[in-house]
Structure 1
Amino acid sequence: MVHIAALDPGASPLDYYGYELRRHREAAGLTQKQLGDIVNYTGSLVGLVETARRVPTVEFSERVDAALGTDGALSRLLELVMRSQLPNWFQQVAELQSRAVEICSFEIHMVHGLLQTLDYARAVLGVLDQGNLDDRTAVRLARQSIFEKEEPPVFWAILSEAALQQEVGSRETMRGQLAQLSSHEHNPRINVQILPFSAGAHAGLTGSFDLYRFASEPSIVYTEGYGSAHPTANPETVKDCSLRYDHLQAAALSIKESAELIRRVMEERYGEPSDSVA
């Protein structure tokens, strides 16, 4: 007899997702393998998701919803599942990102998580810890779904030129990441500006920070340490960081010039190496 693991839907959002997946699957009279065949995943993966041992992806949820006729029930649960998988210290930040009407970010050393490609995110997250890397990467990328909302936030991202030059992962990873950055050139909701080395001393030398603005709540400044988050609505801090951001935008290249620099670095630093001539 095949042992079917008991599920506790109240244990966590991931357990609840698995419980609902099994309930809908059994109501449709399908085995895990049969459902897997329909949605083009293995039956084992279906089983892992049902028993909360694997985090579902957006694609998996959409396919299963379509196959089981659940009217998007699993896809609607996914945001809650993904947020619950974030480190405890970061969950509040993800919630702020989902409610903000405008996000202003300044990054010194790397591309902001809301703009990272899959390969770049894997390289960042896997530096010291390879455990559950697929799931942790999927959770990070799921945060980008805020740009797919009916009313997505306006995102201003200022990156130091150092973030373009720092090779994260591989040359191919960086080509993909920089291509993705430059693709936002004509997207009024996602605005990428580069602070060039030629700017010299600037208002962001103290470190990276995010500024979240809301429709009817005070703005919040967020800074991050190793394994800790530091959001604050202190009016003086918000005022100071808002002024700093204005100066950073003034010192940064325009959106058009930034896209041109990104493409130039992509071609010159990370382009395909030429075959050596004997």
Structure 2
Amino acid sequence: MTNVRELDPSASPLDYYGAELRRFREAAGLTLKQLGACVFCTGSLIGQIETARKVATKDFTLRVDTALDTEGALMRIWRLVMRSQLPAWFQPYADLEAKATHIHSFQLHLVHGLLQTEEYARAVLGVLEHDKLDERVAARMERHHILEREDPPLFWAIMSEAVLYQEIGGKEVMRGQLAHLLSFLDNPWVNIQILPFSAGAHTGMAGSFNILRFEDDPEIVYDEHYEPRMTANPEELRMRSLRYDHLQAAALSVEKSAELIGRVMEERYGEQHGADRSVVA
């Protein structure tokens, strides 16, 4: 008889997921092979997931939740698993980001993580390290969930024009990324502004930063320097808010920003589109 690995569900979100998947499967009276046939994968894969040797995908989790009639229990755990795949230093910020009612971001070099396509994120995250790249990309994509909620935060993103020209992942990836930015044009909860090169010296030259606002808790400033840090210091918050106000005033309007994004997408990355913005969005 095959020796079944015993899991400690409290060891990690990944172990908890595996233990719950096994519990639901056994309660349904299914073998690994039988469940695999139901969700179009091998029993071996399910065994690896149950023993926390492999991270489940979102699609797998949705199919298993349906097959085992768990009422979304595994998907709720999967979100915890994805959070655990984020770098340890970033997890406290991600927790606060998910609770924020307002997110104000300035990005000097890259598209903000909440607005990245999967291909763009893979190119960014895979620059130096390929270990567990699929899991790290999936974790970044799962952060987008907060923009899809019934009560999403108001997200105001200002990006330097340089972000549009920094070719991440190649021309095709950049075409897809800029088209994704344009897809938010009619979303009242997501506002994207481009700070043009013509703005010259500006108050964001020291680097990228985010300001998080909450319903009841103090505001937070998150610096995205080489060693990221968060602070709730009132004086620093006041100064960052002032810097952000100046950036917002110097940036192009949401509509003019969309025009610039579309123009760069066409001229630099070869995307062809007509006058109707819905074509590029």
Q: Find out whether 1:64 has 2:64 as its counterpart.
A: yes
Cα contact 1:221–1:238 (8 A) shared by 2: yes
How many pairs align? Answer: 272
Cα contact 1:209–1:224 (8 A) shared by 2: yes
1:214 CA displacement: 0.5
1:2 equivalent in structure 2: 2
1:276 equivalent in structure 2: none
Alpha-carbon distance between aligned partners in 1 of 2:254 and 2:40, rounded to the nearest angstrom? 41
Alpha-carbon distance between aligned partners in 1 of 2:262 and 2:35, rounded to the nearest angstrom? 44
Q: What's the % identity of the aligned pairs?
A: 63
Alpha-carbon distance between aligned partners in 2 of 1:167 and 1:10, rounded to the nearest angstrom? 43
Cα contact 2:123–2:169 (8 A) shared by 1: yes
User: 1:107-159: CA deviations, max 9, x gaps?
Assistant: 00010111111100000000000111101100111111111223110100101
Cα contact 1:101–1:214 (8 A) shared by 2: yes
1:271 equivalent in structure 2: 270
Cα 1:200–1:145 change in 2 (3 A) is same
Cα contact 2:208–2:225 (8 A) shared by 1: no
1:32 CA displacement: 2.2
Alpha-carbon distance between aligned partners in 2 of 1:41 and 1:154, rounded to the nearest angstrom? 39
Give runs of aligned pairs for residues 22-61 of structure 1, distance below 5 A: 22-61=22-61
Partner SS for 1:185? coil
Partner SS for 1:130? coil
Cα contact 2:207–2:224 (8 A) shared by 1: no
Give runs of aligned pairs for residues 115-130 of structure 1, distance below 5 A: 115-130=115-130
CA RMSD of aligned residues (A): 1.4
- Contiguous gaps of at least 5 residues in structure 1: 274-278
Alpha-carbon distance between aligned partners in 1 of 2:263 and 2:243, rounded to the nearest angstrom? 28
Partner SS for 2:164? helix
Partner SS for 1:225? coil
1:174 equivalent in structure 2: 174
Give runs of aligned pairs for residues 217-236 of structure 1, distance below 5 A: 217-226=217-226, 228-236=227-235
Alpha-carbon distance between aligned partners in 2 of 1:251 and 1:40, rounded to the nearest angstrom? 52
Cα contact 2:265–2:271 (8 A) shared by 1: no
2:14 equivalent in structure 1: 14
1:201 CA displacement: 0.8
1:2 CA displacement: 2.7
1:162 equivalent in structure 2: 162
Cα contact 1:54–1:135 (8 A) shared by 2: no
Alpha-carbon distance between aligned partners in 2 of 1:97 and 1:139, rounded to the nearest angstrom? 14
User: 1:166-207: CA deviations, max 9, x gaps?
Assistant: 000111111111100011011011111111111111110111
1:82 CA displacement: 1.5
Letter in 2 for 1:48: Q
1:63 CA displacement: 1.3
1:258 equivalent in structure 2: 257
1:239 equivalent in structure 2: 238
Letter in 1 for 2:191: N
2:276 equivalent in structure 1: none
Alpha-carbon distance between aligned partners in 2 of 1:261 and 1:71, rounded to the nearest angstrom? 45
Alpha-carbon distance between aligned partners in 2 of 1:198 and 1:84, rounded to the nearest angstrom? 41
Letter in 2 for 1:13: P
Cα contact 1:61–1:74 (8 A) shared by 2: yes
Give runs of aligned pairs for residues 86-97 of structure 1, distance below 5 A: 86-97=86-97
Alpha-carbon distance between aligned partners in 2 of 1:180 and 1:85, rounded to the nearest angstrom? 24
1:52 CA displacement: 1.4
Partner SS for 2:224? strand
TM-score of the two chains, using structure 1 as the length reference: 0.94
1:272 CA displacement: 5.8
Cα 1:117–1:44 change in 2 (3 A) is farther
Structure 1 segments, 4+ long, off by >4 Å, are: none
User: 1:22-65: CA deviations, max 9, x gaps?
Assistant: 11011112222322222223333322221212222322222111
2:183 equivalent in structure 1: 183
Give runs of aligned pairs for residues 127-138 of structure 1, distance below 5 A: 127-138=127-138
79-88 vs 163-172, greater mean Cα deviation: 79-88
Give runs of aligned pairs for residues 71-90 of structure 1, distance below 5 A: 71-90=71-90
44-53 vs 251-260, greater mean Cα deviation: 44-53
